[in-house]
Amino acid sequence: MSGFMDLEGRKAVVTGGGRGIGRAVCLALAAAGADVAVVSTTRERNLAVAEEVVALGRRSFPYEVDVTDGGQVKAMAEAVLADFGEVDILVSNAGIQHHAPFLTSDFERWKRVVEVHVFGAYHCCKALMPGMVERGWGRVIIISSIWGKLPSPFFSSYTVAKHGLVGLARVLAAEMAALGAKGVTVNAVCPGFTDTDMVTGPEGTLTLTAEKLGVSREEAWERFYRVSLQDRLLQPEEIAAMVVYLASEKGRGITGQAINVCGGAAFH
């Protein structure tokens, strides 16, 4: 395939690839030409997405992994390297939400959110970036959030984790340059509210907010979620398109950035 964002021959790992934004990223990378390793905690969903990638004419394997477990991530990296030979693109996307007023929050649940986002990205970057540095080419795309730039009241663990991921992208970009690996770029993508299970599914934040208040989802949206200029949920494919751009050769000049895809909900 040759196109504006040609990823022919590239090998990608996508965490949280079993559904939502991660699934859309897997399919968009595959459509641009990449082989894709689908990584998440949900075996069946990984398999289903891997089959969708194969249907697009690319190679794909599912890996059932909890990204908070460094041993599991290391084993996954070894298996992917055995399957693909190398990894050029890492999309660190796995994530969870937790609603809790800070003052009454439970420490273990608070910590788990930080572990999934920040420690998950730590383990994946550590396991998969050495090959990129060695070859002098790589793309690391970390899915943060507008809540990596703004506070989300009653989601303090999520806000802290997402701010941490912006910091991780910036410092890793600087370290790649310091190591002379200038072909390895590291960026964060910061989505606004996106139409996935995390927001609109049965356990999603919009659904739970509406239930808690005893109002319709439309009213909950008006009161708490109407934060963007466009006043709409983003679609996962809109986030995926930015990921593909950053992964492409055309995106090589972008590193150390935290790029909003948020319908104008944040301005920095």
Please give the residue ranges that form the binding site for ligand NAI (CB under 6 A).
15-16, 18-22, 40-42, 65-68, 93-96, 116, 120, 143, 145, 191, 193-194, 196-199
Q: How far is the CB of 182 from ligand NAI (least distance, A)?
A: 27
Task: Collect all residues with Cβ–Cβ distance below 8 Å to 253 and sequence separation of at least 6.
Answer: none
Q: Could you tell me the CA-to-CA distances from 254 to 7, 38, 143, 266 in Å, in that order?
A: 17, 25, 15, 19
Q: How far is the CB of 39 from ligand NAI (least distance, A)?
A: 7
> In one letter, which amino acid is 11?
K
Q: How far is the CB of 158 from ligand NAI (least distance, A)?
A: 7
User: Torsions phi, psi of 188, nearest 5?
Assistant: -110, 145
Task: Collect all residues with Cβ–Cβ distance below 8 Å to 153 and sequence separation of at least 6.
Answer: none
Among 234, 191, 232, smallest CA distance to 91 is for: 191
61 token code pair: 């394997």
Task: Collect all residues with Cβ–Cβ distance below 8 Å to 94 and sequence separation of at least 6.
Answer: 15, 16, 22, 39, 40, 41, 67, 116, 117, 120
Question: Is 245 in the active site?
Answer: no
Q: How far is the CB of 27 from ligand NAI (least distance, A)?
A: 13
For ligand NAI, which is the closer residue by CB, 20 or 137? 20
CB 243 within 8 A of CB 141: yes
For ligand NAI, which is the closer residue by CB, 68 or 255? 68
For ligand NAI, which is the closer residue by CB, 135 or 217? 217
For ligand NAI, which is the closer residue by CB, 15 or 159? 15
For ligand NAI, which is the closer residue by CB, 94 or 127? 94
**Marked catalytic residue, from 63, 122, 158, 225:** 158
Q: Could you tell me the CA-to-CA distances from 140 to 5, 15, 148, 155 in Å, in that order?
A: 16, 12, 17, 26
CA distance 195 to 221: 12
Helices 156-178 and 107-114 pack at an angle, to 10 degrees, of 30
Q: How far is the CB of 255 from ligand NAI (least distance, A)?
A: 20
Active site residues: 158
